[in-house]
Amino acid sequence: MSNTVIKIEDLCKTYRLGSINGKTLSQDLNSLIARILKKEDPNQKIGAVNFDRNEKLYALDQINLEVKEGDTLGIIGSNGAGKSTLLKILSRVTAPTSGNIYVKGRIASLLEVGTGFHPELTGRENTYLNGAILGMSRKEIDDKLHDIIEFAEIERFIDTPVKRYSSGMYVRLAFAVAAHLEPEILVVDEVLAVGDYQFQQKCLGKMGDISQGGRTVLFVSHQLSMIKALCNKCVLLDHGKVVKYGETVEVIEEYISQRQSPNLISQAVFDKDDQKENAQVYRVSIKNYQGDNCSIYEIFEPITLEVEYEIKKSLVGVALGFSIYKNQGAVCHSFDTDVNRELLNKREAGRYIATVAIPPILKAGNYVMDFTICRPGLDGIDFKKGIITFTVEEKTIDTSMCSYSTRRDGEFAAKQQWQYNKID
C-alpha cells in the first residue's frame, strides 16, 4: 500500500426496504404474520406506501477509493448520497454488504452527537475510555488530558456526567478527545455544525495541524467553504456512487453545476405594469462584442449589459444597478449608476436605453444576475431577481505552460499585460 492508508475496493452497502422495525416485539410479530397471510399491516400508517419487501436500496454502490497518508479528504454530496454510511463503515460502526477495506493505522471517529461516550460517565472517564479503545496506555492519556480539557474549554464540567452536557459541550469534548489522542486517521462527520463559529474555526485549525503532521483526515460537511479551506482532496458521492474524485476546487464546482443545472437566459422582457408609478424596467439583455444576445462567454470576452426602462414622471436621483452571483452563492460583482453623478440629475419622463460594460474579470463558472432601478426613499422601486443567467468558459486559452495549469486561484481572473526589458 506504500503511503496509502485507506484502500476501498468494490464496497457495497445495501438495505432492504420495508424491513420490520416496529417499536415493540408484538408489533413486529403482528406485521410479520400479516405479511405471511398477505393481509394489510396493522401497524402501517394511513396513507403510507407499501414497498416491495425484496427491493434493495444501495446506500453505497461499488465504491473504489484510495486515500494517501497526510491527505485531508472532503466528502460531499446531497442528503442520502452515502457520505455518513461510508464513514460508519470505515469506523466499524456498521459492516459492509460486500467489498474490501484496508486501513493502516488507528481511526478516531466523531460521527454524531452521542456516539462514543457513555452518558453515565464523566467527561474525564470518557476520555480515558476512548483512549483505551484506541489502544493507548493510561500514561499516554495522562500526558494528553490537560491539552484535551483546555481545547474543549469545559474544565468546570470535566467531572460531570456527559448526559448533563449540552450538545455544544458534548461536541467540544468529543472533538478534543478524537483529535488529541493521536490517531493515524481522524474521521469527522457533519457534527461540527453543532458548535459555534469560533469553535468551528478552532477545529478546522486543529485538523489542518493534524494533516500537516502526516496524519489523515476524512471530513464530511455541507459547508463547502469549510471543505475548500481545509481539504486538499475531495470526493463527490451521488446515490452511493463516486461521481468525481480529485482536486477540491474541481470537485466542488462539479457538485455545484450538478445541483444548479442552469437554464441560460441572455434576455428578459417585461410587460407594462401600471402599479409601478415612478419607473419600470422593460428589458434587460447581455450582449457579446458583436452586439448579439449571448449567454455563453469565453474568459476575458467583454460582456455588455443593456437595459431598456421608463421614467414615468420627472425624477431626480434615479439609480440603476446590477449584482452578479457565481454559482448562486455570494455576490461576486456589483455596480450602480451612482458612480456617474451626472446620471443622478433630473430625468424627464420617457423611455431610455442604458448600457454598461461588465469588466472581463469573471472566472469560468455559472453566473446569475439581479437588476434594480430605484431612488433612495422613493416608492415604486423595480427589482428583478435572477433574471439573467450565463456561463463563462475557459477553453480557448492554452494553459499548458502556466503555473496554475488549468485552474486559477482567487475569485477573479483579470487579463494582465507584462512588460520587460533586458538590463544587462
> Which residue ranges make up each domain of the chain?
4-8+66-260, 267-393
CATH topology for 4-8+66-260 is Rossmann fold (3.40.50)
Per-residue confidence band for 189, with pLDDT thresholds at 50, 70 and 90: confident
What angle, rounded to 10 degrees, do the helices at 167-180 and 197-212 form? Answer: 10
Q: What tens digit of pLDDT does each residue of 61-116 get?
A: 888 998 888 888 998 888 888 888 888 888 888 888 888 888 888 887 777 655 66
**Residue 265: pLDDT over 80:** yes
Q: What is the CA radius of gyration of the chain?
A: 29
Q: Judge residue 242's burial from the number of C-beta atoms within 10 Å of its C-beta, 0-12 exposed, 13-18 middle, 19 or more buried.
A: buried
- Higher-confidence residue of 115 and 349: namely 349
Cell numbers 446590477 correspond to what residue? Answer: 322
* Rounded CA separation 16/213 (Å): 42
Q: Say what angle helices 123-133 and 138-152 make with each other, to 10 degrees.
A: 130
What percent of the chain clears pLDDT 90, i.e. is strictly above it? 6
pTM, entire model: 0.59
Give the total residue count for the chain.
Answer: 424
Mean pLDDT to the nearest integer, 123-131: 84
* β-bridge pairing 267-269 and 279-287: antiparallel
**Burial of residue 197 (number of CB atoms within 10 Å: 0-12, 13-18, 19+):** exposed
| Per-residue pLDDT at 360 | 86
CA 206 remoteness from chain centre: 20
Q: Could you read off the pLDDT of 135-187 as tens digits, one per residue?
A: 778 888 888 888 888 888 888 888 888 888 887 788 788 888 877 777 788 88
pLDDT at 311 over 70: yes
Backbone φ, ψ for residue 94 (5° rounding): -135, 160
Question: Any idea which of 7-21, 57-71, 152-166, 402-416 has the lowest mean pLDDT?
Answer: 402-416
Rounded CA-CA distance 366/250 in Å is: 14
The topology under which CATH files domain 267-393 is Coagulation Factor XIII; Chain A, domain 1 (2.70.50)
